Amino acid sequence: MDRKNRSNCPISYALDLIGDKWSLLILRDIILRDKHFYKDFISSDEAIATNILSNRLKMLEYDGFISKTRDTIDRKRFIYNPTEKGLDLLPVLIATMRWSDKYSTEIKQRPPSIEMIRNDPIGFENRIRAKFSNTPTLLDRHH
Amino acid sequence: MDRKNRSNCPISYALDLIGDKWSLLILRDIILRDKHFYKDFISSDEAIATNILSNRLKMLEYDGFISKTRDTIDRKRFIYNPTEKGLDLLPVLIATMRWSDKYSTEIKQRPPSIEMIRNDPIGFENRIRAKFSNTPTLLDRHH
């Protein structure tokens, strides 16, 4: 799955990896919505197709954004978690939410987190990070 | 060019508009690299195909991220500028650059702006915004 970087530009670099309509939504599910299983991603409102989901999960794991470990309780399934590299996209997710909060005027419904993101985006980021740092094993495969 | 939002999620909302490998690079060129003409975008390192560029410029204008006005000096060409809505993606661009600065270890070259973005991202954002607010006509078509 080797890809060539289109240029030395840091924005281009990131888009080469996650510049599509789905990758950041899967990371959103894992990081912000406590979703950790394949069936959880399927159930999100955007109704991702299973072939796209499988492909994106593979890419995100290959590129080091998420880890995939066998569930010790139900060994037929896998648990997906963010790596440090994936969690470090939080500022991108938060900046995107703030932009949409301002411009998606035709959408009336806002996620419950938007209030905190409006008032204290740094605090929000820290709270999410703390959630994962409290369970350090979640991050043990970020190489 | 009407598109349906996949969900009420603010991240999904933004990706429906700019979730691809090219839109943010065109905005980067206009906002961060003082590129304002069709031929400028063609000459960027990523070598965008002309059909993709034409399509994305149309979409970005349609969705209100950029304005397109006839050049008063050379009336055969158009000047592209960010609207307020486009310029408000600066925090997303900056957050993306900071992430890549940390993780694109295989790329040695960094843009000159990265030093300031590392040390003072808010100052960097304000400097870019000031550049456009000094020429208010650049923003006069953001409705």
**Band of residue A93 on the pLDDT scale cut at 50, 70, 90:** very high
**Domain ranges within chain A, ordered by starting residue:** 10-139
Q: How far apart are CA B11 and CA A30, in angstroms?
A: 14
**Which pLDDT belongs to residue B138?**
52
Tokens found for residue A111? 């996620």
User: pTM above 0.90?
Assistant: yes
Count of CB pairs separated by less than 8 Å, A with B? 142
Task: Specify the DSSP class assigned to residue B39.
Answer: H
CATH topology of domain B10-139: Arc Repressor Mutant, subunit A (1.10.10)
User: What is the DSSP annotation of A71-133?
Assistant: -SSSTTSEEEEE-HHHHTTHHHHHHHHHHHHHH-TT-----TTHHHHHH-HHHHHHHHHHHHH
**Band of residue A138 on the pLDDT scale cut at 50, 70, 90:** low
Q: Closest partner residue to A91 among B16, B98, B114, by Cβ?
A: B98
User: Distance of alpha carbon B3 from its chain centroid, rounded?
Assistant: 21
- For residue A9, list chain B residues with Cβ-Cβ distance below 8 A: 25, 28, 45-46, 111
Instruction: Decide if B132 contacts B84 (C-beta within 8 A).
Output: no
CB contact under 8 Å between B98 and A104, yes or no, is no
- For residue A103, list chain B residues with Cβ-Cβ distance below 8 A: 85, 88
Instruction: Decide if A118 contacts A98 (C-beta within 8 A).
Output: yes
Give B9-65 pLDDT, tens digit per residue. 999 999 999 999 999 999 999 999 999 999 999 999 999 999 999 999 999 999 999
**Which pLDDT belongs to residue A33?**
97
- Shortest CA distance to A26 belongs to which of A3, A51, A5, A44? A44
**Which pLDDT belongs to residue B83?**
97
* CA angle B79–B48–B72, rounded 5-degree value: 10
Q: Closest partner residue to B95 among A45, A95, A107, by Cβ?
A: A95
- Contacts for A138 with CB less than 8 Å, ≥ 6 apart: A67, A81, A82, A132
What is the complex's ipTM, to 2 decimals?
A: 0.92
Q: How far apart are CA B125 and CA A135, in angstroms?
A: 35
**Which pLDDT belongs to residue B4?**
81
Task: Work out the angle between the directed axes of helices B10-18 and A90-103 (0-180°, nearest 10).
Answer: 90
